[in-house]
Amino acid sequence: MSNQTVETVETVDIDRRGLMLVLSSPSGAGKTTISRAMLEDDDRLSMSVSATTRAPRPGEVDGKDYYFMEPVEFNLLVNRDELLEHAKVFSNYYGTPSEPVREALANGNDILFDIDWQGTQQLAQKSGDDLVSIFVLPPSTKALEKRLKSRAQDSDEVVAERMSKASEEISHWAEYDYVVVNDDVDRCIQEVKAILQAERVRRIRRTGLLTFVDALREGY
Ligand code: 5GP
């Protein structure tokens, strides 16, 4: 008989509150690609689907990419206080429905937001420590313009408008907890994943720590 001992690994699941991970950047800096990659292999993370008065782009799906609606319907959500934040971006209205966010946080799940600086400021005021914000910078203005043009979903006029707004959006970089530069998308995704991983184990979110440590100290 072998006298080798088999070590069993004890897994410990400590309760925690979910967090709100915000990604902001000028349009075309790669937020959508990063967001998709973040959601791919992470079942504790889901995307917040915003309401918007913007018309759908080719391929966009109602209820998945956005809840597309008329201004009257959007105003109804605002008046009923059903949006956690809302803002006018490029002559359209965008807003975050509150209920899915509240539910996810309470269940210890995390939510990813692709929203602008105005929405991030509103969430920062309302959500305090639940919020982790990341600003994504493009490697250069030229690269940003190239990406906007190659997307081929928007007219020249819209591309020009988005380029002219890029500098204004970028000016808010210092209001964010983290800043990443999207020169290499794979590295950028790894950086955002590392931020999420570290933020998940922050003491302030881990509501189950006290009970766990008390039990440890009592010898369990
Ligand atoms: P797009 O029209 O390209 O999908 O988005 C335009 C801008 O609106 C992006 O910068 C995006 O982050 C922002 N945005 C999308 N949804 C929301 C939202 O719910 N709230 C706010 N404040 N901004 C949003």
**Residue 217 domain-assigned (yes or no):** no
Given a contact cutoff of 8 angstroms between Cβ atoms, the answer to whether 78 and 46 are in contact is no
The rounded Å distance from CA 116 to ligand 1 centre is: 6
Structure confidence by residue, pLDDT tens digits, 16-57: 999 999 999 998 899 999 999 999 999 999 999 999 999 999
The rounded Å distance from CA 115 to ligand 1 centre is: 5
3-state secondary structure of 106: helix
Total domain count for the chain? 1
pLDDT at 106: 87
pLDDT at 162: 85
Structure confidence by residue, pLDDT tens digits, 117-133: 999 999 999 999 999 99
**Residue 220 domain-assigned (yes or no):** no
pLDDT at 79: 98
Q: Please report the DSSP string for 112-146 in residue order.
A: EEE--HHHHHHHHHHHGGGEEEEEEEPS-HHHHHH
Mean pLDDT score of the chain, rounded to an integer? 93
Taking the CA of residue 89 as reference, the ligand 1 atom at the shortest distance is: 8
pLDDT at residue 2 tops 60: no
Residues lining ligand 1, Cβ inside 6 A: 27, 50, 54, 85, 87, 89, 94-96, 114-116, 118-119
Structure confidence by residue, pLDDT tens digits, 137-181: 999 999 999 988 887 677 888 888 889 889 999 999 999 999 999
Structure confidence by residue, pLDDT tens digits, 72-86: 999 999 999 999 999
Element (DSSP H or E) covering residue 166: helix 156-170
**Residue 87 domain-assigned (yes or no):** yes
Q: What is the CATH number of the domain that holds 178?
A: 3.40.50.300
Ligand 1: residue whose CA is nearest its atom 21: 115
pTM for this one? 0.92
Residue 178: closest CA among 148, 220, 135, 215: 135
**Residue 4 domain-assigned (yes or no):** no
